[in-house]
Amino acid sequence: MTVLVTGGAGYIGSHMVWSLLDNGEDVVVLDRLSTGFRWALAPEARLYVGDVADPNLLDSIFKNHQIEAIIHFAGSVVVPDSVSDPLSYYENNTVKSRALIAAAVAAGVPHFVFSSTAAVYGTPQDSQPVAENAALNPESPYGWSKLMTEIMLRDTAAATPLTYTALRYFNVAGSDPKRRTGQSTAGATHLIKVACEVALGKRSRLSVYGTDYPTTDGTCVRDYIHVSDLTSAHLKALKRMRAGGRSIVANCGYGRGFSVLDVVDCVKRVSGNDFEVSLVDRRPGDAASVIANAEVARREFDWVPEYDDLDLIVQTALAWEDLLSKRNDK
């Protein structure tokens, strides 16, 4: 049986492919390579280059491989971009996910793991850490596009044999401890990625967007999860569905938050480099503080994070950034 990973040449997707192969799985990747890289993939992974909603390509994949599960990462992820160009996000994240889900049902694929987001909560109105049953109030088209896909999966699972797991990611960071892949997209907006680039001289400065949020130091607070712990949660979610587990939604985070300035201080300390920080106005769509209650994942998946340490997350991100510099110099 084979696992299809959409967006498998991207940041999180490539880590997922390596984790699946490390665990003896047969893997097929579908990626249009808009932000992903061929070289990020393991040689054993078979790559189809194309769009996740291409019906002919999907039909070919399902005919050529016995797909038992889909892990769906393909999509657009930059919150401010979704505010300025919402229709492209609804097209890329929602409409194309609908096409993929329909193709999966038609092909009889039994299991589906969806890359969702904590952005579905917006700024939580209830106490934090936020649990899966909290009010859903996205503050950006990005968050809405992901929530709409969750709803499609819920309703499809109620009407068909498809079983799904929707994992709501908090802020994913770090890189493969074995240095096989990492966050490599040019112009990436992830805070730890950007801060590491500035610390190593790849960017001239770091902008902190908003210092007047209702948080301890006025900057946004997030729950940062190492990418390898995230892929571990996917593996365990898939194992649970294979064993007959019902469809479920689960948060993926550590349950504690760090402000933007906490992260900046950590990157400076771990890298040993000081750098310029610009304090600028808020960006549209950013929630003030979002911290995960991940007890569902721990209980249902028997998920035990291994990299729950901000210093360690930053160390792996810096190590990849250094390696990436040497790769790009060749």
- With tokens 């393909």, the residue in question is 74
Question: How far apart are alpha carbons 266 and 88 in whole angstroms?
Answer: 35
Catalytic member of 90, 121, 142, 213: 142
Nearest alpha carbon to residue 29 among 71, 68, 60, 80: 71
Best CA proximity match to 46, nearest among 60, 22, 59, 30: 30
Give the DSSP letter of residue 137.
-
Give dist(CA 238, CA 37) in Å, integer.
25
Nearest-angstrom CA–CA distance, 230 and 301: 12
Please check whether residue 206 is in contact with residue 277, taking contact to mean a CB–CB distance below 8 angstroms: yes
- Distance separating alpha carbons of residues 90 and 206, to the nearest angstrom: 30
> Is-catalytic flag, 48?
no
Which one, of 246, 248, 213, lies nearest residue 233 by Cα?
248
Residues, the chain = 330
Neighbours of 306 (CB within 10 A): 11
Distances 107 to 70, 71, 101 between C-alpha atoms, Å: 12, 15, 10
Residues with active-site annotation = 142
